[in-house]
């Protein structure tokens, strides 16, 4: 009796220590302990030799022993199943990765960055300034005194708390601030959002984006202006694009010119965008008016300069053939996601 109990105890220690790393080992365990000729059965067979008065207690011990072996068998089986499962689910490093969905830059940002990068290569620095301006920086300093008729072209929004404040109509106000604080040579571009009191339509909006440029130094000539802008157009639109200058009028430049490029949409054959002329206006430019230089204490006998200004939306329209200005600010992802992958 005593011997049998010791034997059971030894078997239990063996069972507790048993391990299996594959299905064959689990099966071997089952046969050894739980099979028809297994140890559990053989220990059970000893029951007949147990005295009657101890049969009940011994039966309990045998039963516990059997459960102990069965539990261990289940545990071993489960561990093998789990490891097979995890092998099946393990990461296959040879598979291609799932694409990470990324956003896209706004088309206006893409084009503004391209413009900035082209002028940076020519040595232009970038300046920014406030969108809420005072009358002087937006109009007065730019040779647009009160009652000047050219102000009508640039009607804007005024701040009700202080009518001297307004939303800037061009980024020339930033040029004004640069000339206030910097002595020539000055070579800056001023990208930014500007405002006009316009009815919103496919062709006009109450806000849009500009990049203006200013170059002041000794001996800056109209030839420098033309060469700079010609370089810009070739970098932006390609070498085969043609350029023409038309005389124009701006209060802050003299002489002034508007610059057209050959229409990229119809290849100069005539379309709605170029109004069937084959040419599209992309910017205004000119030699800085001596009065503007004098406004900032810059000697106009010693220094000359040129300035230009373009609408980012217009450049974007020509580059991506976007024909409705409103699309830029509607936040429609069907429109915006077309620019995924653009730089
Ligand atoms: Zn055209």
166/148 Cα distance (integer angstroms) = 17
276/123 Cα distance (integer angstroms) = 37
219/222 Cα distance (integer angstroms) = 10
Q: What is the per-residue pLDDT for 342?
A: 61
Question: For tokens 């099966």, what's the residue?
Answer: 27
Known binding-site residue numbers: 254
- Tell me what the mean pLDDT of segment 217-233 comes to: 96
The answer, yes or no, to whether residue 67 has pLDDT greater than 80, is: yes
Confidence of residue 191 (pLDDT cuts 50, 70, 90): very high
Known binding-site residue numbers for Mg(2+): 254
Ligand 1 center from residue 313 Cα (angstroms): 17
The answer, yes or no, to whether residue 315 has pLDDT greater than 70, is: yes
Q: Where are the alpha helices (DSSP H) in the chain?
A: 2-17, 23-29, 39-45, 52-89, 107-121, 135-138, 172-181, 222-237, 290-295, 312-320, 333-336
For 235-270, the DSSP string reads HHH-TT--EEEEEEEETTEEEEEEEEEE-TTTTTS-
- List phi, psi (to 5°) of 3: -65, -40
Name which residue leads in pLDDT, 145 or 321: 321
The b-or-e profile of 116-131 (16+ CB within 10 A means b, else e) is eebbeeeebeebebee
- Tell me what the mean pLDDT of segment 114-119 comes to: 96
166/132 Cα distance (integer angstroms) = 6
Ligand 1 center from residue 120 Cα (angstroms): 30
The answer, yes or no, to whether residue 24 has pLDDT greater than 70, is: yes
- Tell me what the mean pLDDT of segment 141-159 comes to: 80
Q: How far from each other are the two terminal CA atoms of the chain, in whole angstroms?
A: 87
Q: What is the per-residue pLDDT for 87?
A: 66
Residue range 233-280, pLDDT digits in tens: 999 999 999 999 999 999 999 999 999 999 988 888 988 888 899 999
Q: What is the per-residue pLDDT for 203?
A: 81
Tell me what the pLDDT averaged over the chain comes to.
Answer: 89
Name which residue leads in pLDDT, 127 or 150: 127
133/162 Cα distance (integer angstroms) = 11
Confidence of residue 157 (pLDDT cuts 50, 70, 90): confident
- Assessment of whether the complete model's pTM goes beyond 0.95: no
The answer to whether 250 and 261 are in contact (CB under 8 A) is no
Name which residue leads in pLDDT, 120 or 200: 120
Ligand 1 center from residue 314 Cα (angstroms): 13
Ligand 1 center from residue 280 Cα (angstroms): 7
- Tell me what the mean pLDDT of segment 83-89 comes to: 70
Confidence of residue 18 (pLDDT cuts 50, 70, 90): confident
Ligand 1 center from residue 81 Cα (angstroms): 70
The answer, yes or no, to whether residue 343 has pLDDT greater than 60, is: no
Ligand 1 center from residue 204 Cα (angstroms): 19
The answer, yes or no, to whether residue 88 has pLDDT greater than 80, is: no
Q: What is the per-residue pLDDT for 210?
A: 95
Ligand 1 center from residue 87 Cα (angstroms): 63
158/174 Cα distance (integer angstroms) = 18
Name which residue leads in pLDDT, 89 or 142: 142
Most confidently modeled range among 12-21, 50-59, 179-188: 179-188
Ligand 1 center from residue 321 Cα (angstroms): 11
Residue range 118-138, pLDDT digits in tens: 999 999 999 999 999 998 888
8/44 Cα distance (integer angstroms) = 11
Query: What are the residues facing 77 on neighbouring strands?
Result: none
The domains of the chain are located at: 2-85, 107-339
Class of CATH domain 107-339? alpha beta
Residues by chain with Cβ below 5 Å of ion ligand 1: 263, 265-266, 271, 273-274
Ligand 1 center from residue 198 Cα (angstroms): 25
């Amino acid at each position: 009796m005593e011997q049998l109990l010791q034997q059971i105890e030894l078997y239990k220690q063996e069972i507790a220590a048993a391990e299996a790393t594959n299905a064959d080992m689990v099966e071997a365990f089952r046969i050894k302990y739980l099979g028809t000729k297994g140890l559990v059965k053989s220990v059970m067979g000893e029951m007949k030799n147990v005295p009657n008065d101890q049969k009940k207690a011994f039966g309990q011990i045998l039963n516990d022993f059997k459960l102990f072996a069965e539990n261990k068998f289940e545990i071993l089986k489960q561990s093998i199943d789990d490891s097979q499962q995890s092998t099946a689910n393990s990461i296959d490093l040879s598979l291609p990765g799932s694409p990470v969905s990324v956003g896209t830059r706004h088309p206006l940002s893409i084009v503004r960055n391209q413009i900035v990068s082209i002028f940076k290569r020519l040595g232009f620095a970038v300046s920014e300034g406030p969108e809420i301006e005072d009358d002087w920086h937006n109009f007065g300093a730019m040779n647009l005194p009160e009652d000047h008729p050219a102000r009508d072209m640039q009607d804007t929004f005024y701040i009700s708390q202080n009518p001297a404040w307004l939303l800037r109509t061009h980024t020339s106000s930033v040029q004004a601030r640069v000339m206030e604080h910097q002595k020539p040579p000055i070579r800056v571009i001023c990208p930014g959002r500007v405002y006009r009191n316009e009815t919103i339509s496919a062709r006009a909006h109450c806000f849009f984006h500009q990049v203006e440029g200013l170059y002041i130094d000794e001996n800056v000539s109209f030839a420098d202006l033309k060469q700079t802008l010609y370089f810009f157009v070739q970098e932006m639109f390609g070498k085969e694009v043609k350029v023409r200058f038309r005389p124009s009028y701006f209060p802050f430049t003299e002489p002034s010119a508007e610059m057209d490029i050959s229409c990229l949409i119809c290849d100069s054959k005539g379309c709605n965008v170029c109004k069937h002329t084959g040419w599209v206006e992309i910017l205004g430019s000119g030699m800085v008016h001596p009065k503007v230089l004098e406004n900032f204490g810059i000697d106009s006998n010693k220094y000359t300069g040129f300035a230009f200004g373009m609408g980012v939306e217009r450049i974007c329209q020509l580059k991506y053939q976007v024909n409705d200005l409103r699309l830029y600010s509607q936040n429609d992802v069907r429109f915006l996601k077309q620019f995924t992958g653009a730089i």
